[in-house]
Amino acid sequence: MKDNLENIIKNSLQDYEAPYDPKAWENVSAQLDAKAAANSGGVSSILKWSLAGTLVAVIIAGSYLLWFDNDVNLTTTKKGEVVEDIAKTNAENQPIIEESSKDQIKDKKKQHADNSINEESDLVADIPPLENVVHDEKHNSSSNEIISSQDEAEGVYNDGEVNNEQPKEKKFLSGILSAKEICEGETVYVRNNNENAQVKLKYSTRNAYQVILPGDEIQLQIKSSQEIQFYNQNNEVIGSQYVKVNPKPEANFTYEANIFEKGLPVVICETYEDYEAYEWFVDGEFTHIGEKMTHNLFKKADYKIALKVTDRNGCKGINTKTVRIHNKYNLMAVDAFKPNGSDARNRTFMPYSLTQRDVQFVLTIVDPVDNHVVFKSENKNNAWDGLDNETGKMTPANKTYIWKVQILNPLKNERPIYSGTIVHN
């Protein structure tokens, strides 16, 4: 089907010739001559090519219109074949075009050609000469370079403002010390309270310049008395301040442990140094004030005893020692007694600490065989003499009994219950 259609178009155009009117070319030529006379310079090469292109476009457009004036009818047979039915081209069957219509078509084509020629001429006239464009660009470039160089020489910034600012000279002042007398190990702070100046200093402990910015401060670790010197931008001394460093006091002391005082286990610590204040600590806990400390240590353990002193300069010193307690406190009770013995101190049983302390307690003696209570007392003067309070008889000799004491008002760090065994000899 595609091949048949191509053959139809090919055959129909094979002998076709576009109609030619000599008067049309004469009219175009006359207009070109008139335009050339007006410009007095002749038609430029660009205009000639534009006219030639316009004529070619007119010829092609006319051919296209004439081609589609012919009726080409395509019909399909029952078998699907395309049959070409070309309209008759006899002169008697073609439609008759009136002379007036033909003249109108010619006038429109002529007007279209004239408009195209005028547009091309105006376009060429508006284009400036090439040498003028190049000259203007060079002129502008040179002008910009001259202006830029002048701006740089006169100190003009991009925004057009002149830089009249002069570099500011840095100012240096002396700093402010937090203290002029300190104790060994303490810190001195140097502060710069000025908002427009810096502080430059140096001291012997650290032989190097240090600068403090406005509003800042630094800390100095000074180990001995010395001067702190302040400098300006030329490293010239502009001031100095003396800082006195007082040594720490020595907190020496002696102690005695594993002893009893009034029925209680104690450690006795004492110092012979002359200071303003004394503070004692046991395992980091503050306990006493004064030159001497007596403290109860109830458990078998190692204890850290520390003394902290303050001298007349306000400086503080501390010393720590380890104290070892060998035995656990158990009311200093004996483990045997003899009711019928010759030693009166050993004829009864009462834990010794209870006889020395001002304490409330309950003492209970129990027979381990049947767990019955043999003796009970709440008075330190009422000791067990070996009698069974339940039967009223003397308990058997060479027998072990269990005792227990409950402390009703124990001291700090003291356990409330004590116990042990006692043998009746």
In this chain, the answer to whether the domains covering 176-246 and 254-324 adopt an identical fold is yes
Per the model's pLDDT, the better-predicted residue between 74 and 37 turns out to be 37
Indicate the CATH number of 336-424 among 2.40.10, 1.10.3470, 3.30.70, 2.60.40: 2.60.40
Percent of the chain with pLDDT over 70: 61
Q: CA 160 to CA 150: how far, in whole Å?
A: 12
Going 351 to 355 to 356 to 362, the CA torsion angle's sign is: positive
pLDDT value of position 24: 58
Q: CA 28 to CA 113: how far, in whole Å?
A: 8
Q: Burial code of 192-223, b = ≥16 C-beta within 10 A, e = fewer?
A: bebeebbbbbbbeeeeeeeebeeeeebebebe
Is the pLDDT score of 57 beyond 60?
Answer: yes
What is the distance of C-alpha 195 from the center of its chain? 28
pLDDT value of position 144: 40
pLDDT value of position 170: 79
pLDDT value of position 392: 92
Domain covering 254-324, topology: Immunoglobulin-like (2.60.40)
Question: Is the domain covering 176-246 a CATH 3.40.30.10 domain?
Answer: no
Q: CA 221 to CA 346: how far, in whole Å?
A: 67
Residue 127: what residue type?
Answer: I
User: What rounded mean pLDDT belongs to the chain?
Assistant: 77
Is the pLDDT score of 296 beyond 80?
Answer: yes
Asked if 21 and 106 touch (Cβ cutoff 8 Å), the reply is: yes
Is the pLDDT score of 135 beyond 70?
Answer: no
* Per-residue pLDDT tens digits for 347-393: 999 999 999 999 999 999 999 999 999 999 999 999 999 999 999 99
Pairing relation of β-strands 237-246 and 181-183? parallel
pLDDT band, very low/low/confident/very high, at 4 (cuts 50, 70, 90): low
Give the domain ranges of the chain. Answer: 2-126, 176-246, 254-324, 336-424
* Per-residue pLDDT tens digits for 143-168: 343 333 334 333 333 444 545 555 56
pLDDT value of position 63: 59
Asked if 366 and 376 touch (Cβ cutoff 8 Å), the reply is: no
